[in-house]
A and B are shown apart, each in its own frame.
Chain A
């Protein structure tokens, strides 16, 4: 094999390395931007200005915060399981990179083209909860443990309706490939699955917020009751990685929602990747807006919502999708 072959994008390893580099750059940059957006939205929702003094309109504030986080000493609590304690933040971040690979950024922009992208994302996003358990267990801390226990119950409860709502769309589209599902919708809102099947879209959004542990479903970290839940004992970049993983997970669920329900990269006038980014950021903004509007739900409310409302509704929606697809196809 010569050098030319090795450096071409068709060579899988080269493609993977370049893809991962792009993902890391994108996730890192987005973390900074989203932290800023989050704090700005929080401020304006409460009639405050938000960060304002570091850089124009506080734009450089997250950068300064990141420098502070990186500069901090890494401390593991006395009596903690050191191996698990340091493995957890790495494990929280690792699935993110895999889940980013099959996202359809544009009609011909895939890190790695595959026909079961949806399955890959769903499988690896389930890994994220494992890191929360390890973090909570490894820190030897009662709040950490409680947060970990909550995160397990929550993720088990919400993965079911999430899978069902995704399945309804996959059956309608007849594919598990995010590219094909996007391609089957059109550029206009009435051609989107989110408009054709609003119930699935609604269920997916609620479950996505719950799966990413965002308010109002942020029970695993619940500041007011559990200090910081599973990441109580983490400081510096240990905390930073959890933080970055949370924002990266938000990007993934928004990306999947955009591809499944909002027509992916399709839209008039602009090239594909811009439409995909616009849709992702609209959903991200909505998730952030939710956080600064609603108070945290109680644990029984959280589980009731999933098992008594979302799961039956998702089953109903799935049955309808099957019937419609059966008659239509």
Chain B
């Protein structure tokens, strides 16, 4: 290696060292990006890509009613068996019309879910349910603050949640 090469190497090395100091020096003077939970919470804009538990999407004309057609594709697609959809079982011919029985989707003649439960304690957030849904009725929610001492709290009633969110939105819109 010639002397000029050596000097050139030393020069680029020293220059990169100074640039490195500049990078951390700039960071030193900038405000931090840490969100001090629970005193602060993450801004909504930063949560659009967050993969929380799945939630139902409402119809455009009525956000409180899901697009879901109770076909049961998501139940089959789920590798962890965490989705339960119940629909009213159609009464057989000649049978008395007693109290409405609920059975797993799909049920003949039933196009809306009677109950839509996700057991989040089993979910691995793979997204297969949202991917297979033929009417695009499922998506990841953006709620990172799910905390509980009780396992039961992670069995989430998605229909109730959709109704609650539609109501909140309507209140906020007024």
Q: Which of chain B's residues have a CB closer than 8 A to the CB of A292?
A: 24
CA separation between A269 and B19, bound complex, in Å? 34
Contact with A along B19-51 (1 / 0, CB 8 A): 011011101101011101000000000000000
Asked whether, in the complex, the Cβ of B32 is within 8 Å of the Cβ of A309, the reply is: no
Query: Is A44 a contact of B28 with CB atoms below 8 Å?
Result: yes
B90 within 8 A of A: no
Contact indicator B28/A309 (Cβ below 8 Å): no
Candidates A41, A44, A289; contact of B21 at CB < 8 Å: A289
Do A47 and B23 have beta carbons less than 8 Å apart? no
A-B contact pairs, 25 of them (CB 8 A): A41-B28, A44-B28, A44-B32, A45-B24, A45-B27, A46-B27, A47-B27, A47-B30, A47-B32, A47-B33, A48-B32, A48-B34, A49-B32, A49-B34, A49-B36, A289-B21, A289-B25, A289-B28, A292-B24, A293-B20, A293-B21, A293-B24, A294-B17, A294-B20, A309-B10
Chain A residues with Cβ under 8 A from B23's Cβ?
293
A289 to chain B, nearest CB (A): 7
**Chain B contact residues, CB within 8 Å of chain A:** 10, 17, 20-21, 23-25, 27-28, 30, 32-34, 36
B residues in contact with A52, CB < 8 Å: 36
Known: A41-B28, A289-B25, A309-B10. A47 touches B20 (CB 8 A): no
A265 CA to B158 CA, complexed, in Å: 72
Establish whether residues B32 and A43, one from each chain, have CB atoms under 8 Å apart when the complex forms. Answer: yes
A46's closest neighbor in chain B, by CB? B27
Per the bound structure, the CA–CA distance linking A33 and B28 in Å amounts to: 18
Please report the C-alpha to C-alpha distance between residue A292 and residue B32 in the assembled complex, in whole angstroms.
16
Min C-beta distance of A179 to chain B, whole Å:
33
The CA-CA distance from A4 to B147 in the complex, in Å, is: 70
Partner-B contacts on A (CB < 8 A): 41, 43-49, 52, 289-290, 292-294, 309
Q: How far is the CA of A45 from the CA of B10 in the complex (A)?
A: 26
CB of B5, distance to nearest CB on chain A (Å): 13
Tell me, in angstroms, the Cα distance from A292 to B27 when the chains sit together.
11
Give the chain B neighbours of A44 by CB distance below 8 A.
27-28, 32
B25: chain A residues within 8 A (beta carbon): 289
Q: A274 → chain B, closest Cβ, in Å?
A: 24
Which chain A residues lie closer than 8 Å to B20 at the CB level? 293-294
With a 10 A CB-CB cut-off, give which of B10, B20, B28 has the most chain A CB atoms.
B28
Residue in B closest to A43 when the chains form the complex, CB atoms: B32
Chain B residue nearest in CB terms to A308? B6
9 A-B pairs with least C-beta separation:
A293-B24, A45-B24, A47-B33, A47-B32, A44-B28, A293-B20, A49-B32, A48-B34, A45-B27
> When the two chains form their complex, are residues B24 and A289 in contact, meaning their CB atoms are under 8 A apart?
yes
User: Once the chains are docked, how many angstroms separate the CA of A292 from the CA of B25?
Assistant: 10
Q: How many angstroms between the C-alpha atoms of A48 and B32 in the bound complex?
A: 5
Beyond A44-B32, A294-B20, 9 extra complex contacts between A and B, CB < 8 Å: A47-B27, A48-B32, A48-B33, A48-B34, A49-B32, A49-B34, A289-B25, A289-B28, A293-B24
Smallest Cβ-Cβ distance to B33: which chain A residue: A47
